[in-house]
Amino acid sequence: MVTLAGLDQYKTAGYSTICLGIFDGMHRGHREVMAGADAVVTCDPHPQTVLQQTPVERLTLVSEQALFGPHVVVIPFNEQVANLDPRTFLDAIIGSQLAPKQITVGYDFRFGKHAAGTVETLRDWGQANDCRVIVVPPVYDADRPIKSRDIRIYIKTDPNRAIALLGHPYPLMGTVVLGEQRGRTWGFPTANMRLDPHKCLPRWGVYAGWVPLDQKRLRAIIYIGRKPSFDGQFPQPEVHILDGFSGDLYGTLLTVYLERFIRDEQYFSSQSDLRRQIQADIDNCLLL
């Protein structure tokens, strides 16, 4: 039997309407599929990681999906699940464990071994099992359906376009770790974040965004890159929280939302030039 994460809470709450999919990015198309559902039912790891042995950089980790939607139920995607034929997948996992009265999916939803299951397969199963099936048409950007694979490209090349396609700020969730504390000595203390290695890092540079802390939404300036002015090698986010924040965040799980890409990573020949640019970035952020 496949054990679903979040199943106990699903049953305790008495949920009965679900949406099915990967939902990587929780983009504008995904939000249409999620509308009205009690729970998001997804897979982790990404099926491509198992089927093609190819790591996938995730726009939205499973741990981040709850930021944007209802309760999340996770099907552990492994070779056992991958080899289930469509009917067995529906009977043994969806019907037997979740017993939904309504399932919503996107127009291109596929499932089961060799992706043999289609929306028509699901409709037939729903009719036989007293379960309403809703198929949501694509959401377009100009004349092109919004797709996670396109957003993965844009987040590294044109982040502001990616954020527009997502329909929400780009989230980063990670543990605050000890950094070099260089910014603190300059009056710009930063929270250094350790991210999940599967997270899709956006284009290196400086972003305006915000952080939810103490039930407040605090503005922040976020740098992602290798710190070329100091011969850095490993990219990680550094977050300077504005609006008068001065707390200690070491060891906490922090969520940061990137709202706008401001500028690319730069090399500065002097620390004074870098400090002036940081202040200019902060001023820019405060004007947005």
Same-domain check for residues 134 and 203: no
Can you give the pTM of this predicted structure? 0.90
**Confidence at residue 187, expressed as pLDDT on a 0 to 100 scale:** 62
- pLDDT level of residue 104 (50, 70, 90 thresholds): very high
- pLDDT level of residue 251 (50, 70, 90 thresholds): very high
Query: Rounded to whole angstroms, how far apart are CA atoms 130 and 250?
Result: 51
Percent of the chain's residues with pLDDT above 70:
94
Is the residue at 191 inside a domain? Answer: yes
Question: pLDDT (tens digit, 9 = 90+) per residue, 158-185?
Answer: 999 999 999 999 999 999 998 766 655 5
Same-domain check for residues 182 and 132: no
Question: pLDDT (tens digit, 9 = 90+) per residue, 188-226?
Answer: 788 999 999 999 999 999 999 999 998 999 999 999 987
Checking if the pLDDT of 21 tops 80, the result is: yes
Query: Rounded to whole angstroms, how far apart are CA atoms 239 and 209?
Result: 9
Same-domain check for residues 184 and 278: yes
- pLDDT level of residue 186 (50, 70, 90 thresholds): low
- The DSSP secondary structure of 191-256, one letter per residue, reads EEEEEPTTB----SEEEEEEEEETTEEEEEEEEEE--GGGT--S-EEEEEE-TT-----TT-EEEE
Checking if the pLDDT of 56 tops 60, the result is: yes
**Confidence at residue 230, expressed as pLDDT on a 0 to 100 scale:** 45
**Confidence at residue 54, expressed as pLDDT on a 0 to 100 scale:** 84
**Confidence at residue 69, expressed as pLDDT on a 0 to 100 scale:** 76
- The parent domain of residue 137 ranges over 14-145
Domain count, the chain: 2
**Confidence at residue 249, expressed as pLDDT on a 0 to 100 scale:** 92
- pLDDT level of residue 53 (50, 70, 90 thresholds): confident
Same-domain check for residues 23 and 79: yes
Provide mean pLDDT across the span 270-277.
Answer: 78
**Amino acid letter, residue 39:** A
Same-domain check for residues 88 and 205: no
Query: Rounded to whole angstroms, how far apart are CA atoms 238 and 113?
Result: 42
Same-domain check for residues 186 and 272: yes
Same-domain check for residues 38 and 130: yes
Provide mean pLDDT across the span 55-68.
Answer: 91
Provide mean pLDDT across the span 69-98.
Answer: 95
Is the residue at 126 inside a domain? Answer: yes
Can you give the CATH number for the domain in which 175 is found? 2.40.30.30
Is the residue at 9 inside a domain? Answer: no
Checking if the pLDDT of 156 tops 70, the result is: yes
The residue among 209 and 288 whose pLDDT is bigger is 209
Non-local (6+) Cβ contacts of 63 within 8 A are: 173, 196
- pLDDT level of residue 27 (50, 70, 90 thresholds): very high
